[in-house]
Chain A
Amino acid sequence: MLNGTRRISALAVAAALVLSACSSSATPSPAPTTAPQDTPVASAPAVATTGAATAVTYRCTKGDGQLNGAGATFPFPLYSKWGADYNTKCGVKLNYQSIGSGGGVKGWQQNTVDFGASDAFLLDTEITTAAANGVPVEIPVAFGAVVVAYNLKGLSAPLKMTADIVAGIFDGKITKWNDAAIAAANAGVTLPASDISVVHRSDGSGTTSIFTTYLTKASPDWVTTVGKGDATKSAGKTVEWPTGLGASGNEGVTQGINQTEGGVGYIELTYALANKIPFADVKNSSGAFITPSLDSVKAAANLPTYPADLRFNLANSPVANGYPITGSTWLIVYKDLSKVMKSQDRANALVDFLWWGIHEGQNDSAALYYGSIPAGLLAQDEAAVKSITWAGQPLLP
């Protein structure tokens, strides 16, 4: 539809040029305009709104010349790009250790890092554990998709899957690729009669958390089978898998899928794209089958409203064109930094970095296949960063 109107307008422009200038040498062809379509369109609104709402300037407080963070592996490529870019811009080094979300939360609780990073917002119990140090500010900064990737030969289009199919495959109830449920969702596709070989993560992981949180929300059968009826047990960084092989890391699961005819597993979108593994379109809460992509991740993250504490969950997002297995990743800092940091200078360096991250840092997202902060969320993210204080005094103007 968009392509059609564009092409028509381009043709009109071309015709006008030919008519007016009487020269056909420099007419732009309509084809290239469609190719780089998503990147500029994607980042444009965010930049525009920030420009309008607040004048984005960066103080670049040096502090001690470095900031330490630890946590989630999922946003690690983004944070390492941030580290390089922010060092170039402000001369502050970022040491980020991607030790896993659990480690990030621990590091934040024990105040061994300036900020923690996690693919799940803090549990109430995790907040009370750190109560002696103060209360947290949780800032969502990036969004990503987890895809159901498979190894099946001879399929021309992505398979379509519903939540019940995905749950059935991963809880061991669906064992053949030509199962009636899969066939029903993929009318007209010839499915092989081969065995399904499930690969899941063997290490605790935010990726598992995003995937199982989705299944818990969207499939009652998953809660019954895996959580024995308890939704807190069927979602998390580790669950009790009824079937399948375990593999360590996204790369391990990718390898496991690649190696086994009939293999299926869940991995981050980036890994599936990089390894050219096909992945399924998944039915979302409004009944549409959605292809995981940067656009559908952004759509899923674009909620109508966000809770004030920014502890929200994108699994099975209510947005009409959003991909349902989407997750976000948070940076976690203390609200009052005077209790946990030695110098106000370093605290200033931290909030300056956070401020930069939610603005200019967002330009790094698309190239690394992360969804950036939606326009509707940015104001709340800004407010969150501004709420960070030094003994009650805001650190940012």
Chain B
Amino acid sequence: MAVRISSKAGQGGPAAGSFARRHLLNGDIVFRLVVAASAALTIGLIGLMVFDSVQAAWPAFQTFGLGFVTGIRWSPSFTIYGALPFIYGTLLTSVIALLLAVPIAVLIALLVTEFLPPQIGRPVAIVVDLLAAVPSVVWGLWGLLVLVPFIRPIEHGVADGPGRLIPFLGPPTPGPSYFVAGVVVAVMIIPIVAALTREVFATTPRLQREAVLALGGTRWDVIRRVVLPIGRTGLLAAVLLGLGRAIGETIAVTMVIGNAPKIGGSIFSPGFTLASVIANEFNEATEPLHAESLVGLGVVLLVIAIVINGAGVAVRRRFERSAGRGR
């Protein structure tokens, strides 16, 4: 973009005068410097953060090696730090949240863009967006005071009935659990995913919709053959953003997950996530290597986020390539 502007300025004619007038006074170089500086600052900050975190966590990595990631015991009193229960908890609650949130969010987006007339669809969209403005600690309180007592009998029913035969659905069911945390996070990410997918669906080319309808297709055909295929890249981006929030969600999860540092055999077991263990233990991390290990958990969380985002970029590229071939 900057190139185009400067070339235009260059065409301004020989009368444009001195170098300074052409390049400095029109703000070109200044703007370029500002842009470059902010980019460098952002990248530099991320780099510094990664460097500082890894450095602060280094004693823990050095002591436990790969065991820091694969260890299943987290015991500050015994100076044993294994992060696997928290990695498991983070991934499990995020997967539960996505499984619940994405279908609902996509359906809301379809409802608003495809079925409701704008004068009704817009207020619905605004109400859904408002959910995103609720602070996470409020969701946590709601989860603890309302959702846990509500879900507990359901958990009991499932765990003591069919759950005895199906893995991951069995007892014990004390109330706070991976499942409740997943539900709370799902409610929190629905508005984000819904808003983004709504934008994506709204940009579906009108001609293609009308083509399907002209060929005798139903609304369902429009959604299935046009809206969803064209919007899948955007949908993926929306899911990834939701996942990003799900992985990092801290306080609401802490309040409903039960904070037990072990790998629960059921989705109804209490557990712990990377973010919530950091929030819980950092204040009083006075045992040897405790603070270092908590920072280490932060590094693990960062790596998970990078891997997921990287995977998202790769998948999107493949989609785009196949879409390009299809044309």
Q: Are A237 and B176 in contact (CB under 8 A)?
A: no
Q: Are B78 and A238 in contact (CB under 8 A)?
A: no
Q: Is the CB of B286 closer than 8 A to any CB of chain A?
A: yes
Q: Are A204 and B281 in contact (CB under 8 A)?
A: yes
Q: Are A100 and B176 in contact (CB under 8 A)?
A: no
Q: Are A245 and B286 in contact (CB under 8 A)?
A: no
B residues near A247, Cβ cutoff 8 Å: 259
C-beta contact mask, A235-260 vs B, less than 8 Å → 1, else 0?
01111110011111000100110011
B93 to A: closest C-beta gap in Å:
15
Q: Is the CB of A361 closer than 8 A to any CB of chain B?
A: no
B183 to A: closest C-beta gap in Å:
17
Assembly CA distance A245 to B174 (angstroms)? 8
C-beta contact mask, B73-108 vs A, less than 8 Å → 1, else 0?
001111000000000000000000000000000000
- Nearest residue (CB) in B for A208 is B284
Assembly CA distance A99 to B176 (angstroms)? 26
Q: Is the CB of B242 closer than 8 A to any CB of chain A?
A: no
- Partner of B175 from the list A236, A237, A252, A260 (CB cut-off 8 Å) is A260
Interface residue stretch chosen among A15-23, A101-109, A268-276, A331-339:
A101-109
Q: Are B260 and A102 in contact (CB under 8 A)?
A: no
Assembly CA distance A248 to B284 (angstroms)? 12
B-facing residues in A264-283 (Cβ within 8 Å): none
- Nearest residue (CB) in B for A245 is B258
A residues near B148, Cβ cutoff 8 Å: 259
A residues near B286, Cβ cutoff 8 Å: 102, 105-106, 204, 237
Q: Is the CB of B187 closer than 8 A to any CB of chain A?
A: no
Q: Are B78 and A246 in contact (CB under 8 A)?
A: no
Q: Are B77 and A238 in contact (CB under 8 A)?
A: yes
- Nearest residue (CB) in B for A197 is B174
> Max chain A CB contacts within 10 Å: which of B145, B149, B259, B284?
B284
A245-B258, A248-B259 known; A100-B283 Cβ under 8 A: yes
> Max chain B CB contacts within 10 Å: which of A106, A227, A246?
A246
Q: Are A100 and B78 in contact (CB under 8 A)?
A: no
Assembly CA distance A236 to B175 (angstroms)? 27
- Partner of A246 from the list B75, B76, B259 (CB cut-off 8 Å) is B259
Q: Are A202 and B259 in contact (CB under 8 A)?
A: yes
Q: Is the CB of A203 closer than 8 A to any CB of chain B?
A: yes
Q: Are B281 and A203 in contact (CB under 8 A)?
A: yes
Q: Are B284 and A204 in contact (CB under 8 A)?
A: yes
Q: Are A202 and B270 in contact (CB under 8 A)?
A: no
A-facing residues in B128-182 (Cβ within 8 Å): 144-145, 148-149, 174-176
Q: Are B283 and A204 in contact (CB under 8 A)?
A: yes
Q: Is the CB of A205 closer than 8 A to any CB of chain B?
A: yes
- Partner of B76 from the list A99, A103, A228, A238 (CB cut-off 8 Å) is A238
Q: Are B176 and A203 in contact (CB under 8 A)?
A: no
B residues near A239, Cβ cutoff 8 Å: 77
Assembly CA distance A43 to B324 (angstroms)? 85
> Max chain A CB contacts within 10 Å: which of B76, B174, B255, B261?
B174
B263 to A: closest C-beta gap in Å:
15
Q: Is the CB of B285 closer than 8 A to any CB of chain A?
A: yes
Q: Are A248 and B77 in contact (CB under 8 A)?
A: no
Assembly CA distance A344 to B78 (angstroms)? 43
- Partner of B280 from the list A203, A245, A255 (CB cut-off 8 Å) is A203
Number of residues of chain B lying within 8 A (CB) of chain A: 26
Q: Are A203 and B283 in contact (CB under 8 A)?
A: yes
Q: Is the CB of A233 closer than 8 A to any CB of chain B?
A: yes
A238-B76, A248-B254, A259-B149 known; A203-B270 Cβ under 8 A: no
- Partner of B284 from the list A101, A227, A234, A245 (CB cut-off 8 Å) is A101
Q: Are A237 and B174 in contact (CB under 8 A)?
A: no
A residues near B258, Cβ cutoff 8 Å: 245-246
Q: Are B174 and A233 in contact (CB under 8 A)?
A: no
Give the interface size class of chain A. 20 to 34
- Nearest residue (CB) in B for A237 is B284
Q: Is the CB of B287 closer than 8 A to any CB of chain A?
A: yes
A-facing residues in B212-264 (Cβ within 8 Å): 254-255, 258-261
Assembly CA distance A365 to B75 (angstroms)? 36
A246 to B: closest C-beta gap in Å:
3
- Nearest residue (CB) in B for A243 is B260
Assembly CA distance A121 to B45 (angstroms)? 40
Q: Are A248 and B174 in contact (CB under 8 A)?
A: no
- Nearest residue (CB) in B for A241 is B260
Q: Are A248 and B285 in contact (CB under 8 A)?
A: no
Assembly CA distance A154 to B144 (angstroms)? 25
Q: Are B281 and A245 in contact (CB under 8 A)?
A: no
> Max chain A CB contacts within 10 Å: which of B259, B272, B280, B287?
B259
Q: Are B77 and A103 in contact (CB under 8 A)?
A: no
- Nearest residue (CB) in A for B80 is A240
Q: Are A238 and B281 in contact (CB under 8 A)?
A: yes
Assembly CA distance A99 to B283 (angstroms)? 7
A197-B174, A260-B175 known; A245-B283 Cβ under 8 A: no
Q: Are A245 and B270 in contact (CB under 8 A)?
A: yes
B residues near A103, Cβ cutoff 8 Å: 283-284
Assembly CA distance A203 to B75 (angstroms)? 13
A residues near B260, Cβ cutoff 8 Å: 241, 244-246
- Nearest residue (CB) in A for B277 is A202
Q: Are B280 and A246 in contact (CB under 8 A)?
A: yes
A residues near B259, Cβ cutoff 8 Å: 202, 245-248
Q: Are B281 and A259 in contact (CB under 8 A)?
A: no
A residues near B75, Cβ cutoff 8 Å: 240
- Nearest residue (CB) in B for A255 is B144
Assembly CA distance A248 to B281 (angstroms)? 10
Q: Are B175 and A259 in contact (CB under 8 A)?
A: yes
B residues near A233, Cβ cutoff 8 Å: 77-78
Assembly CA distance A106 to B76 (angstroms)? 18
Assembly CA distance A197 to B261 (angstroms)? 16
- Partner of A203 from the list B145, B174, B284 (CB cut-off 8 Å) is B284
Q: Are B284 and A240 in contact (CB under 8 A)?
A: no
Give the B-binding residues of A (Cβ under 8 A). 99-103, 105-106, 197, 202-205, 227-228, 233-234, 236-241, 244-248, 252, 255-256, 259-260
What are 13 A-B pairs with beta-carbon distances under 8 A? A100-B283, A101-B284, A103-B283, A105-B286, A203-B281, A204-B286, A237-B286, A238-B76, A245-B260, A246-B260, A246-B280, A255-B144, A259-B148
**Seed contacts A103-B284, A237-B284, A240-B75; 5 additional CB < 8 Å A-B pairs:** A100-B283, A233-B78, A245-B176, A245-B259, A260-B174
